[in-house]
Amino acid sequence: MNSLHIVLAGLLGAAGMAAFTPEGLPRQKAAPTEQAVPALSQSEPTDTTKTGGRASRKKKDKSKKEPAAARVTMKREVNRATLSQRSEEGNNVEVVIMSAGVALRDVEDMRMVGSSGTPLSSSSYIGFDNVSFPFEGNIRFKASNKMGTVVYDREVRFEVNEPGRWTLRVDL
Protein backbone atom coordinates (compact mmCIF):
# COMPACT_ATOMS: atom_id res chain seq x y z
CA MET A 1 0.00 0.00 0.00
CA ASN A 2 2.89 2.34 0.84
CA SER A 3 4.50 1.66 -2.49
CA LEU A 4 1.27 2.62 -4.26
CA HIS A 5 1.25 5.97 -2.46
CA ILE A 6 4.87 6.52 -3.37
CA VAL A 7 4.23 5.75 -7.04
CA LEU A 8 1.20 8.09 -7.17
CA ALA A 9 3.09 10.88 -5.44
CA GLY A 10 5.96 10.44 -7.87
CA LEU A 11 3.66 10.61 -10.89
CA LEU A 12 1.88 13.71 -9.59
CA GLY A 13 5.20 15.36 -8.84
CA ALA A 14 6.49 14.61 -12.32
CA ALA A 15 3.30 16.02 -13.84
CA GLY A 16 3.67 19.17 -11.75
CA MET A 17 7.29 19.61 -12.79
CA ALA A 18 6.34 19.16 -16.43
CA ALA A 19 4.07 22.18 -16.16
CA PHE A 20 7.07 24.37 -15.30
CA THR A 21 9.15 23.32 -18.28
CA PRO A 22 9.10 25.59 -21.34
CA GLU A 23 6.97 23.05 -23.22
CA GLY A 24 4.33 22.99 -20.45
CA LEU A 25 4.00 26.79 -20.01
CA PRO A 26 1.36 28.66 -22.00
CA ARG A 27 2.75 30.54 -24.94
CA GLN A 28 2.55 34.27 -25.26
CA LYS A 29 0.66 35.72 -28.18
CA ALA A 30 2.77 36.92 -31.02
CA ALA A 31 2.58 40.58 -31.94
CA PRO A 32 -0.07 41.23 -34.59
CA THR A 33 1.25 41.63 -38.07
CA GLU A 34 0.08 44.46 -40.25
CA GLN A 35 -1.94 43.54 -43.28
CA ALA A 36 -2.33 45.67 -46.33
CA VAL A 37 -5.91 46.61 -47.09
CA PRO A 38 -6.60 47.88 -50.57
CA ALA A 39 -8.21 51.31 -50.55
CA LEU A 40 -11.35 51.88 -52.61
CA SER A 41 -11.06 54.53 -55.24
CA GLN A 42 -13.59 57.35 -55.39
CA SER A 43 -15.04 56.17 -58.69
CA GLU A 44 -16.10 52.73 -57.40
CA PRO A 45 -19.75 52.72 -56.24
CA THR A 46 -20.49 51.04 -52.95
CA ASP A 47 -23.67 49.08 -52.26
CA THR A 48 -25.34 50.48 -49.14
CA THR A 49 -28.88 49.25 -49.75
CA LYS A 50 -28.71 46.36 -47.29
CA THR A 51 -26.97 48.01 -44.38
CA GLY A 52 -29.35 48.58 -41.47
CA GLY A 53 -32.37 47.35 -43.41
CA ARG A 54 -34.35 46.11 -40.43
CA ALA A 55 -33.54 49.07 -38.20
CA SER A 56 -34.44 51.64 -40.85
CA ARG A 57 -37.71 49.82 -41.58
CA LYS A 58 -38.70 50.04 -37.92
CA LYS A 59 -37.95 53.76 -37.84
CA LYS A 60 -40.08 54.33 -40.94
CA ASP A 61 -42.98 52.38 -39.43
CA LYS A 62 -42.86 54.46 -36.26
CA SER A 63 -42.90 57.71 -38.19
CA LYS A 64 -45.98 56.59 -40.18
CA LYS A 65 -47.98 55.85 -37.03
CA GLU A 66 -51.26 57.68 -36.84
CA PRO A 67 -52.36 59.30 -33.59
CA ALA A 68 -54.14 56.89 -31.28
CA ALA A 69 -57.92 56.94 -31.20
CA ALA A 70 -57.76 57.29 -27.41
CA ARG A 71 -55.00 57.20 -24.83
CA VAL A 72 -54.29 57.83 -21.18
CA THR A 73 -51.72 60.61 -20.92
CA MET A 74 -51.12 60.61 -17.15
CA LYS A 75 -52.11 58.62 -14.08
CA ARG A 76 -51.24 59.14 -10.42
CA GLU A 77 -51.82 56.68 -7.55
CA VAL A 78 -53.67 54.38 -9.97
CA ASN A 79 -52.62 50.84 -10.92
CA ARG A 80 -54.17 50.85 -14.40
CA ALA A 81 -56.27 53.14 -16.57
CA THR A 82 -57.62 51.97 -19.94
CA LEU A 83 -59.88 53.50 -22.58
CA SER A 84 -62.11 51.28 -24.70
CA GLN A 85 -64.70 52.10 -27.32
CA ARG A 86 -68.15 50.58 -26.74
CA SER A 87 -69.66 51.82 -30.01
CA GLU A 88 -68.80 54.17 -32.85
CA GLU A 89 -72.02 56.13 -32.40
CA GLY A 90 -72.45 58.61 -29.61
CA ASN A 91 -70.45 61.32 -27.94
CA ASN A 92 -69.84 60.41 -24.31
CA VAL A 93 -67.12 59.07 -22.06
CA GLU A 94 -68.17 56.96 -19.08
CA VAL A 95 -65.82 56.59 -16.11
CA VAL A 96 -65.75 53.32 -14.17
CA ILE A 97 -63.60 53.20 -11.03
CA MET A 98 -62.80 49.65 -9.89
CA SER A 99 -61.33 48.51 -6.60
CA ALA A 100 -60.73 44.78 -6.02
CA GLY A 101 -63.10 43.91 -8.88
CA VAL A 102 -65.99 46.02 -7.55
CA ALA A 103 -67.15 49.27 -9.17
CA LEU A 104 -66.91 52.26 -6.80
CA ARG A 105 -69.57 54.95 -7.13
CA ASP A 106 -69.04 56.84 -3.87
CA VAL A 107 -65.54 58.27 -4.20
CA GLU A 108 -64.62 61.34 -2.19
CA ASP A 109 -63.99 64.81 -3.63
CA MET A 110 -64.65 63.90 -7.30
CA ARG A 111 -63.56 66.64 -9.71
CA MET A 112 -64.02 66.19 -13.46
CA VAL A 113 -62.80 68.66 -16.04
CA GLY A 114 -63.23 68.21 -19.79
CA SER A 115 -62.39 70.24 -22.87
CA SER A 116 -66.08 70.06 -23.89
CA GLY A 117 -69.34 68.46 -22.83
CA THR A 118 -71.04 68.16 -19.48
CA PRO A 119 -69.50 66.29 -16.54
CA LEU A 120 -72.07 64.13 -14.72
CA SER A 121 -71.67 62.33 -11.42
CA SER A 122 -74.54 60.41 -9.85
CA SER A 123 -74.93 57.19 -7.92
CA SER A 124 -75.22 55.15 -11.14
CA TYR A 125 -73.19 57.10 -13.74
CA ILE A 126 -69.92 59.01 -13.77
CA GLY A 127 -68.74 60.55 -17.01
CA PHE A 128 -68.91 63.25 -19.67
CA ASP A 129 -71.93 63.69 -21.99
CA ASN A 130 -72.30 65.66 -25.25
CA VAL A 131 -68.55 65.97 -25.84
CA SER A 132 -66.98 67.12 -29.08
CA PHE A 133 -63.91 65.35 -30.40
CA PRO A 134 -60.96 65.55 -29.96
CA PHE A 135 -61.67 65.53 -26.24
CA GLU A 136 -59.30 65.91 -23.30
CA GLY A 137 -60.42 64.99 -19.82
CA ASN A 138 -59.03 65.15 -16.31
CA ILE A 139 -60.45 63.25 -13.33
CA ARG A 140 -59.30 63.79 -9.73
CA PHE A 141 -60.71 62.03 -6.70
CA LYS A 142 -59.80 60.67 -3.31
CA ALA A 143 -60.06 56.98 -2.52
CA SER A 144 -58.67 54.82 0.24
CA ASN A 145 -56.34 51.88 -0.24
CA LYS A 146 -57.66 48.32 -0.18
CA MET A 147 -57.21 48.06 3.58
CA GLY A 148 -59.02 51.35 4.16
CA THR A 149 -56.16 52.78 6.20
CA VAL A 150 -54.87 55.56 3.92
CA VAL A 151 -56.71 57.95 1.56
CA TYR A 152 -54.83 58.81 -1.64
CA ASP A 153 -55.37 61.75 -3.98
CA ARG A 154 -55.68 60.06 -7.41
CA GLU A 155 -55.70 61.57 -10.89
CA VAL A 156 -56.13 60.38 -14.49
CA ARG A 157 -55.74 62.50 -17.65
CA PHE A 158 -56.82 61.17 -21.04
CA GLU A 159 -57.47 62.08 -24.68
CA VAL A 160 -60.10 60.74 -27.09
CA ASN A 161 -59.64 61.61 -30.77
CA GLU A 162 -62.42 59.62 -32.48
CA PRO A 163 -66.17 59.94 -31.89
CA GLY A 164 -68.16 57.23 -30.17
CA ARG A 165 -69.14 55.91 -26.75
CA TRP A 166 -66.01 55.41 -24.69
CA THR A 167 -65.34 53.85 -21.30
CA LEU A 168 -62.45 54.92 -19.09
CA ARG A 169 -61.75 52.11 -16.61
CA VAL A 170 -59.62 53.08 -13.62
CA ASP A 171 -58.27 50.19 -11.50
CA LEU A 172 -57.07 51.15 -8.02
Q: CA-CA distance, 78 to 155, in Å (whole number)?
A: 8
CB-based burial label for 169 (10 Å; 0-12, 13-18, 19+): middle
Is 61 strand, coil or helix?
helix
Q: CA-CA distance, 129 to 85, in Å (whole number)?
A: 15
Helical residues (DSSP H) of the chain, grouped into ranges = 2-19, 53-63
Full-model pTM: 0.60
Residues 6+ apart with CB under 8 A from 152: 77, 142, 143, 144, 145
Q: What are the backbone dihedrals phi and psi of residue 153, each rounded to the nearest 5 degrees, phi first?
A: -90, 115
12-27: per-residue pLDDT in tens?
A: 666 665 555 556 555 6
Question: Among 41-45, 75-79, 90-94, 109-113, which stretch is predicted with the lowest mean pLDDT?
Answer: 41-45
Q: CA-CA distance, 22 to 83, in Å (whole number)?
A: 74
So what's the pLDDT on residue 61? Answer: 56
142-166: per-residue pLDDT in tens?
A: 998 888 899 999 999 999 999 999 9
48-63: per-residue pLDDT in tens?
A: 555 555 555 555 555 5
Q: Are 139 and 172 in contact (CB under 8 A)?
A: no
Q: CA-CA distance, 56 to 63, in Å (whole number)?
A: 11
Average pLDDT over residues 115-135: 90
Domain definitions of the chain by residue range: 70-171
The closest of 58, 80, 86 to 170, measured between CA atoms, is 80
